[in-house]
Amino acid sequence: MSKVKIKLFANLREIVGVKEEFVEAQSVGEALEKLVEKHSALKDKIFPQGELNKSLNIMLNGKNTDLNTEVREGDEIAIFPPVAGG
Amino acid sequence: MKVITVAGYKNSGKTSLIEELVPKLKKIGRVGTVKHIHHEDSGDTARHMKAGADVVIGLGDEMRVMLKSSELREALDILADLGMDFAILEGFKSSDLPKVLLGDADAKEVVAKNLTADEIIKRLDEFPEWETVKSMIRKVKSSPKIGEVGAIGCFIGIVREEGGTVKEMEIEKYDKVAERIMREIEEEVKKEFGVIEVLMHHNSGRLVGGDDIVYIVVASSHRKEMFPALQSAVEKMKERVPIWKKEIRVDGERWV
């Protein structure tokens, strides 16, 4: 089990009220599940109907990732809606 | 900007004429004056200011600029336009700018307390970049390959006011990652289109209608490759850079 940081952005951040959370997990998927356990208001956004919301982007240490990827102590996960810069 | 020069010997009535001219022109637009200073400022610059000039510059061996503004943003824009690489602000505890706090005052966005000069210099990446259109062009022109450049194109994204419906915009960035991806896009576009320089800067925080959101500048030998490179850079930025915009409208808020 590793302690990882999950950074939240845009509407996800607003729903939870914090910019980041810390969870213990072995994989990206597990980390997100723990996040949703801590903040149930995120459940519908991240796992609507039990499946990962495909429109969300998930990054691990700044690179796109998937739920199965293992995490290590100190890793940084970011979860956010489609980007909208410019 | 229209430039009107009033010349003549001392005591020919130049300042008096300018005192008449300033308020009349102020009815049509903003007015700045430049007073040639020979030895000391004899008080003419004060007369220009009193006549209503928005900016008065006394120009002699050095330039003294007086502005009727108390906006920190304007001061920063001026420094950036003038090509400063660093702006050091003294004070401004309650601004949103990341700061070094000395002592125990109440302040927002404190990066660290009681740092020494050397420590600050080691931690420069924790302080923000401030850019204007002009500072971006200057940056491009300071590229070592500027000698080959014949064309510079610039895209500016601004906050669309929609006739006043959009009052403010909040821009959120996944900071370090957004910067890294913008640098990647810059290199990609350079290679793909054979242009000499590509620079991007995206603002964050609170903006109001009409404010600049993003600058993208492309410098190339010829205009032929500049236009498609610029377009590609804009599209790639919009597709890949982790930044989000929230419109604060008269009828509520929404993430764009």
Q: Tell which residue, B12, B51, B240, B227, has the closest CA to residue A82.
A: B240
Question: What per-residue confidence (pLDDT) applies to B39?
Answer: 77
Crossing angle, helix B223-240 and helix B175-193, to 10 degrees? 150
Model's pTM, two decimal places? 0.89
pLDDT per residue as tens digits for the range A12-71: 999 999 999 999 999 999 999 999 999 999 999 999 988 899 999 999 999 999 999 999
Whether residue B42 is predicted with pLDDT greater than 80 in this model: the reply is: no
Domain spanning B146-255: CATH superfamily: Molybdopterin biosynthesis MoaE subunit (3.90.1170.40)
B158 and chain A in contact, CB less than 8 A: no
Q: Please, are residues B101 and B110 in contact by the beta-carbon 8 Å criterion? A: yes
pLDDT over 90 (residue B145) = yes
Position B78 scores a pLDDT of: 95
Answer yes or no: CATH 3.10.20.30 is held by domain A2-80.
Answer: yes
- Check whether B25 has a pLDDT greater than 80: yes
Mean pLDDT of B35-61: 90
B201 touches chain A (CB under 8 A): no
pLDDT band at B68 (very low <50, low <70, confident <90, very high): confident
Nearest-CB residue to A85 (from B176, B180, B241): B241
> Scanning every residue of chain A, which has its alpha carbon at the shortest distance from the alpha carbon of B202?
A86
Res A30: pLDDT:
94
Contact B242 A86 (CB under 8 A): no
Please give the pLDDT value at position A1: 86
| Cβ density class B40-53: b for 16+ within 10 Å, e for less | eeeebbebbbebeb
What integer pLDDT is reported at residue B124 of this predicted model? 94
**Checking DSSP bridges between strand B151-158 and strand B212-220, what pairing results, if any?**
antiparallel
pLDDT tens across B209-256, in order? 899 999 999 999 999 999 999 999 999 999 999 999 999 999 899 998
To the nearest whole number, what is the mean pLDDT of chain B? 94
Q: What confidence score (pLDDT) does residue B136 get?
A: 97
Q: Which residues of B touch A79 (CB under 8 A)?
A: none
List the single residue in A7, A62, A86 with the smallest CB-CB distance to B213.
A86
For B168, half-sphere exposure in the C-beta direction (CA atoms, 13 angstrom radius) is: 9
Token pair 């459940």 is found at A43
Residues 6 or more apart whose CB falls under 8 angstroms from that of A76 comprise: A4, A5, A6, A7, A60, A61, A62
Nearest to B157 by CA among B94, B233, B211, B227: B211
User: Residue B235's closest chain A neighbor by CA?
Assistant: A86
- Encode pLDDT of B162-213 as tens digits: 888 889 999 999 988 999 999 999 999 999 999 999 999 999 999 998 999 9
CA distance B107 to B123: 19
Percent of chain B predicted with pLDDT > 90: 85
Q: Find the CB nearest B243 among A59, A78, A83.
A: A83
Nearest beta carbon to residue A84 from set B178, B180, B256: B256
Residue B122 has pLDDT above 90, yes or no: yes
Q: What is the ipTM of this complex?
A: 0.90
- Chain B residues within 8 A of A84 when measuring between CB atoms: 238, 243-245, 255-256
pLDDT value of position B70: 87
